[in-house]
A and B are shown apart, each in its own frame.
Chain A
Amino acid sequence: MSSSSNKFALIGNPNIVRRDLRARITGERRFAADISAADIGASSLVYMGLVTSPYPSAKVKKIDVSKAEAAGFATLTGLEMPAYNYYNPGRPYVPLTSDTVIFAGQPVAAVASTDPNGVSDAMDLVKVEYEPQPFVFDPEEALASGAPQLWPGGNSPIGPAPMHTAFGDISAGFAQADEVVEQRFDTSIQQHFELEPTDCVAYWTNSKLYTWEKTSYAFGDQSGLASYFGLVLDDVVCRDALGGSANGAAGGIFGNSTGGDALIIAAAMSKKIGAPVKWVATRFENTQDTTSRFPVRGYLKFGGTKGGAFTAMQARLYYNMGARGGAIPDGVDDFYNTYAVPNVDIDTYITNTNSFGLAAYMRDVGESQCHFMMEAAVDMLAEKLGVSPTAFRLKNMRTKDNAVDPVAQTPYSELGQPDTFNAGVSAFNWSAKWQGWAKPSSVNGTKRRGVGLALENGNKGTAFPPSSGQIQVNPDGSVVVFSGHCDQGAGTHTTIPIMAAEAIGLTSLDNVTYMSADTSVNTDSSVTAGSQGTQNGGFAMVAAAADLARQWFPIVAANLAPGTKASNLAFGGGIGAGLSGLGGGSSNQPSGVIYDTTNPSNSMSFKAAAALLTQPLTGQGMGTPLINFGLTHRVVGTKLVEVEVDTETADVRVVNYVGALDLGRIIFSKGANSQSQGGFIGLGIGQALFEETVNDPTSGLNYSGRYLNPSFLDMKTPTIMQTPDTAVPVWVEGVDPSGPFGAKGIGELCLIAASPAVANALSNALGGYRFTSLPIRKEDVVAALQWMKDNGKL
């Protein structure tokens, strides 16, 4: 075996297939929605439905469940449930409201039926009287005096004053500028619309609560339920679907985990009726009762010099967190971490409105919203300055050479710029396609093409809170990997076994079993979200491998050449002698052996070493949160897009896409490839071109404020017809010295700059017309075409 570094057997191996895919596509693996009574050892299931408010703001005058009860259905109302502070400290919230409604779709009552067909019958029999109240959807109006108040303390979880982020001298920055652009931008409320609706089964039996849900954090569900019901942790068992050795499966989550309200309501219903309760959200409920991507409004003012220097960046941002959202100002930091601007001044207002229920994470948090406006405004400024979009970005982007976070004042762990930019521009063949500002890349009859690009730089994959896990080696050489990380499509059930197996020098995953999230089997894995499953899970695995070595190597040393010291032994391949797993160094010896670093021929095969064990040996590991390294962690990339607009029909098609991403070390190659193109196509094109949840803003109507499009029919997500002709992921493996094996996060990076890249390309195709709100609807394209005709550009 070569002695050169990084000869991994499993990490980055392009032949490794998704381990649980076969089971998921044959009807063998159970998603939470598939769980039957027999799967959980019960004789039957009771099916639950939620009665929800059609009004975004109302007083509940009366809830009458008597007819439903008389018909034999079980019911539950807020009068039977205490308030809790789970999401938003200081703002007690009742999972089922009995007095005040603050968003359309807020659950008011729950019903249950032994017959799944009976759920809708039961819902129809619950009569609720509402007194509609004034509501507010607009974040700026919500902060104005006289606005309808959602909460006693006002319409902001942090108070009316903005969060302020500033450095340099913003006035001096604008004084130096030759040109200034000022523009308002808006983004939409977007639904996760994952294919498997949010769902769970809850069973309260023998004073213990068991749940099986579609989740990204079973341990968070466990602590939330224990806290709400006043139980000790040991009396609550939560699983990722069937979890454990059965292995969970989640049909996409993208941030919309089932934890929280519905899980609490299902548990309370089960406690009340003494039977296992199953809840599968209807698509309508999935829009209304669960979380949404929150819209951000931004007033941006950017200034620069004729020489292409970015001198001033000012922003006033309004985060509309819906009725219940707290302060999640992610994305603000992207402005000054993406560009090395000397003078920055950003005010961020956090607001609550009646426009939707709970603002939360949706494959990135606020990053894609902030990037949309930032990267569109950067293009506007560069155009005004007469500098090309590539030259302006190259001159001003933050790179590894000026690598200190200007606010946190900590160095970056690793920053793959300008590497991703250069790699992306080259792979896209940008210089051949770019004809200049407002000049289409090609015109063929009614088909006009344009190109656009956008940088991305987000605070993702921070590996916090820390993760724990175990690796168990059995005497027969088989291995069990214990990690509570869930697989919602990211390939986690493959990625973590790869890292565990590589860490102990295995050459194959054939005899490796994965134990997925089950709080009665695993220890706290941390959350599988925020692009950190790989880092978090990986940290725990390399630590577990080190613990395994500490216990195992003395036994092995006693069976090697006389005088062999356990402290000199190492796993071949894998993480090698260092056993820290950080940065990605590997052993200079082949995988599958345990060897003496002072005399490599003094070695024993993994299997022979396992046979020395008289019982299973378990190594326990706890990951280290990246925050402990005193570094700023960023995920960075560059997206380049070519669009085609039919000037006759206003149809828009993304034709070519290149996503150049700094992914750190690639662990699961096929999965990384799928995610890096899929995040752009599945969520990014939708965010750019179609997706918005629309509320009826009309007041005075009976059903004013209702959602108008809570279905796949009315709120289209991208279909296979939107597949670009080419979608090329370009990986810059900038090995992160603080990541397990040098890995970084992927999940959100694949999406972040999708919408501005599309918007900038559309502008290029359509004579320089600027799109300033998401989504860019067909009517916006029609307006652009009309503007072009009015100005002699078409």
Chain B
Amino acid sequence: MKAGLAVGTVAGVSVIAIGGKTGLQALQVTQPAQPVANTDPFAAQQITINVNGTEQSLLVEPRDTLANILRDKLGLIGTKMGCNRMSCGSCTVLVDGAPTESCQYLALWAAGKSVTTVEAGLLAPTLNPKATPDPVIGALQNAWVQQDGGQCAFCSPGNIMSATALLKQNPNPTVDDIKTALSGNLCRCGNYPNIIASVQLAAKNLGGV
């Protein structure tokens, strides 16, 4: 393999600069200021994110997305990437409880925040045995299996996370509530009737409708 294939090439950095600047501007506008030790605005930064109940210290580039960090650095591949353009919903996670398409959410923005992925469900082998599994995600996963909520199931984690946010806010959703909450999550298998039935069953099992 060529030596230069390693990270950090001259040409690579010149392109990174464009993306990095945009990211930092957005960071300043929309996020509380983070302590930035390095004066190079494009340098990788050490940040801490609480992921599924565990504090994770991570070195991230300004252009790294939350989806990339979760998948590539933490191995949490339950978060799927369908489009990388925030238009399919497969990468939906919760950031401080809010459903968020992690493919267009910079990792730096998540510094100091709490991120929940589908691995936090009762069924998943959790990263941290001490962490408390999320009962809503677990109930949705159980319901998904019973109601055949996924065919290829590539979209299921994103759908489950959107549904988690819904059920935490509204334990008794109507079909229209469910459709609205999940309208950003595409399922090409067309499994929508089963997805709706899965959310309804989970709501029922959690003590809602």
Whether A73 is near chain B, meaning CB under 8 Å from some CB there, is yes
Known A-B contacts A720-B196, A721-B179; the reply to A675 vs B151 at CB < 8 A is yes
Whether A489 is near chain B, meaning CB under 8 Å from some CB there, is yes
- In the complex, the answer to whether A678 meets B182 with C-beta atoms within 8 Å is no
Whether B141 is near chain A, meaning CB under 8 Å from some CB there, is yes
Within 8 A of B (CB), among A183-221: 192-197
Residue of B nearest to A35 (CB): B77
Query: How far is the CB of A389 from the nearest CB of chain B, in Å?
Result: 25
- In the complex, the answer to whether A25 meets B188 with C-beta atoms within 8 Å is no
Within 8 A of A (CB), among B41-72: 61, 63-64, 68, 71-72
Whether A773 is near chain B, meaning CB under 8 Å from some CB there, is no
Within 8 A of B (CB), among A18-73: 18, 21-22, 24-28, 30-31, 33-34, 36, 46, 67-68, 70-73
Please pick, from A252, A679, A682, A712, the residue contacting B154 in the complex, using a CB distance under 8 A. Answer: A252
- In the complex, the answer to whether B141 meets A26 with C-beta atoms within 8 Å is yes
Tell me the number of A-to-B contacts counted with CB atoms below 8 Å.
Answer: 242
Within 8 A of B (CB), among A276-290: 280, 282-283
Residues of A within 8 A of B125 (CB): 28
Whether B95 is near chain A, meaning CB under 8 Å from some CB there, is no
Residue of B nearest to A674 (CB): B148
Residue of B nearest to A192 (CB): B188
Measured between alpha carbons, how far is A626 from B197 in the docked complex, in Å? 38
- In the complex, the answer to whether A720 meets B151 with C-beta atoms within 8 Å is no
Whether A641 is near chain B, meaning CB under 8 Å from some CB there, is no
> What string of 1s and 0s marks CB contacts (under 8 Å) between B130-147 and chain A?
000000000001001110
Interface SS, B side: loop
> What string of 1s and 0s marks CB contacts (under 8 Å) between B65-99 and chain A?
00010011001111111111101101000000000
- In the complex, the answer to whether B152 meets A251 with C-beta atoms within 8 Å is yes
Measured between alpha carbons, how far is A590 from B10 in the docked complex, in Å? 72
Known A-B contacts A195-B186, A682-B190, A720-B195; the reply to A25 vs B144 at CB < 8 A is yes
- In the complex, the answer to whether B193 meets A251 with C-beta atoms within 8 Å is no
Known A-B contacts A27-B118, A678-B190; the reply to A116 vs B153 at CB < 8 A is no
> What string of 1s and 0s marks CB contacts (under 8 Å) between B188-207 and chain A?
11111111100000000000
Query: How far is the CB of A317 from the nearest CB of chain B, in Å?
Result: 28
Residues of A within 8 A of B12 (CB): 71-72, 113, 115, 117-118, 121-122
Whether A120 is near chain B, meaning CB under 8 Å from some CB there, is yes
Whether B23 is near chain A, meaning CB under 8 Å from some CB there, is no
Residue of A nearest to B151 (CB): A489
Please pick, from A71, A491, A673, A678, the residue contacting B10 in the complex, using a CB distance under 8 A. Answer: A71
Residues of B within 8 A of A491 (CB): 151
Please pick, from A117, A275, A682, the residue contacting B188 in the complex, using a CB distance under 8 A. Answer: A682
Residue of A nearest to B10 (CB): A71
- In the complex, the answer to whether B81 meets A681 with C-beta atoms within 8 Å is no
- In the complex, the answer to whether A282 meets B84 with C-beta atoms within 8 Å is yes
- In the complex, the answer to whether B153 meets A118 with C-beta atoms within 8 Å is no
Measured between alpha carbons, how far is A719 from B190 in the docked complex, in Å? 8
Size of the A side of the interface (Cβ < 8 Å), in residues, is 81
Measured between alpha carbons, how far is A680 from B71 in the docked complex, in Å? 33
- In the complex, the answer to whether A22 meets B148 with C-beta atoms within 8 Å is no
- In the complex, the answer to whether B190 meets A683 with C-beta atoms within 8 Å is yes
Residues of B within 8 A of A25 (CB): 78, 118, 123, 141, 144-145, 149-150, 153, 156-157, 160
Known A-B contacts A25-B118, A489-B151; the reply to A682 vs B187 at CB < 8 A is yes
Residues of A within 8 A of B156 (CB): 21, 24-25
Measured between alpha carbons, how far is A46 from B1 in the docked complex, in Å? 10
- In the complex, the answer to whether B1 meets A275 with C-beta atoms within 8 Å is yes
Whether B37 is near chain A, meaning CB under 8 Å from some CB there, is no
Query: How far is the CB of B71 from the nearest CB of chain A, in Å?
Result: 7
Query: How far is the CB of B99 from the nearest CB of chain A, in Å?
Result: 14
Residues of A within 8 A of B182 (CB): 720
- In the complex, the answer to whether B1 meets A274 with C-beta atoms within 8 Å is yes
Known A-B contacts A74-B2, A678-B191, A723-B193; the reply to A27 vs B11 at CB < 8 A is no
Known A-B contacts A31-B154, A674-B189; the reply to A719 vs B183 at CB < 8 A is yes
Whether B15 is near chain A, meaning CB under 8 Å from some CB there, is yes
Measured between alpha carbons, how far is A555 from B99 in the docked complex, in Å? 60
Measured between alpha carbons, how far is A194 from B191 in the docked complex, in Å? 13
Query: How far is the CB of A375 from the nearest CB of chain B, in Å?
Result: 21
Known A-B contacts A194-B188, A683-B188; the reply to A21 vs B80 at CB < 8 A is no
Residue of A nearest to B147 (CB): A670
Please pick, from A114, A193, A685, A720, the residue contacting B6 in the complex, using a CB distance under 8 A. Answer: A114
Known A-B contacts A25-B118, A195-B152, A721-B179; the reply to A682 vs B5 at CB < 8 A is no
- In the complex, the answer to whether B145 meets A120 with C-beta atoms within 8 Å is no
- In the complex, the answer to whether A718 meets B190 with C-beta atoms within 8 Å is yes
Size of the B side of the interface (Cβ < 8 Å), in residues, is 72
- In the complex, the answer to whether A283 meets B83 with C-beta atoms within 8 Å is yes
Residues of B within 8 A of A192 (CB): 188
- In the complex, the answer to whether A21 meets B183 with C-beta atoms within 8 Å is no
Residues of B within 8 A of A68 (CB): 11
Whether B117 is near chain A, meaning CB under 8 Å from some CB there, is yes
Measured between alpha carbons, how far is A478 from B125 in the docked complex, in Å? 25
Within 8 A of B (CB), among A556-576: none
Whether B155 is near chain A, meaning CB under 8 Å from some CB there, is yes
Within 8 A of A (CB), among B1-34: 1-7, 9-12, 15-16
Residues of B within 8 A of A671 (CB): 148, 151
- In the complex, the answer to whether A727 meets B87 with C-beta atoms within 8 Å is no
> What string of 1s and 0s marks CB contacts (under 8 Å) between A114-147 and chain B?
1111101110110000000000000000000000
Measured between alpha carbons, how far is A251 from B64 in the docked complex, in Å? 24
Query: How far is the CB of A762 from the nearest CB of chain B, in Å?
Result: 20
Residues of B within 8 A of A707 (CB): none
Residue of A nearest to B158 (CB): A195
Residues of A within 8 A of B186 (CB): 195, 712, 717, 719
Residues of B within 8 A of A125 (CB): 11
Measured between alpha carbons, how far is A34 from B187 in the docked complex, in Å? 19
Residues of B within 8 A of A17 (CB): 145-146, 148
Please pick, from B5, B76, B80, B146, the residue contacting A114 in the complex, using a CB distance under 8 A. Answer: B5
- In the complex, the answer to whether A252 meets B119 with C-beta atoms within 8 Å is no
Residue of A nearest to B86 (CB): A713
Known A-B contacts A34-B71, A720-B182, A723-B193; the reply to A73 vs B151 at CB < 8 A is no
Residue of A nearest to B152 (CB): A489
Measured between alpha carbons, how far is A684 from B75 in the docked complex, in Å? 36
> What string of 1s and 0s marks CB contacts (under 8 Å) between B93-130 and chain A?
00000000000000000000000011101011100000
Residues of B within 8 A of A684 (CB): 190
Residues of B within 8 A of A489 (CB): 150-153, 189
- In the complex, the answer to whether B151 meets A196 with C-beta atoms within 8 Å is no
* 9 smallest beta-carbon distances between A and B, as pairs: A72-B4, A682-B190, A27-B78, A251-B154, A489-B152, A681-B190, A71-B11, A678-B190, A489-B151
- A and B contact pairs by CB, cutoff 8 A, 12 listed: A25-B160, A26-B123, A27-B117, A33-B81, A72-B12, A114-B5, A117-B63, A273-B2, A282-B84, A673-B148, A684-B190, A717-B188
Given A36-B77, A683-B188; 10 other pairs, CB 8 A cutoff:
A34-B77, A116-B68, A124-B15, A196-B82, A678-B187, A678-B194, A681-B190, A685-B190, A711-B87, A720-B192
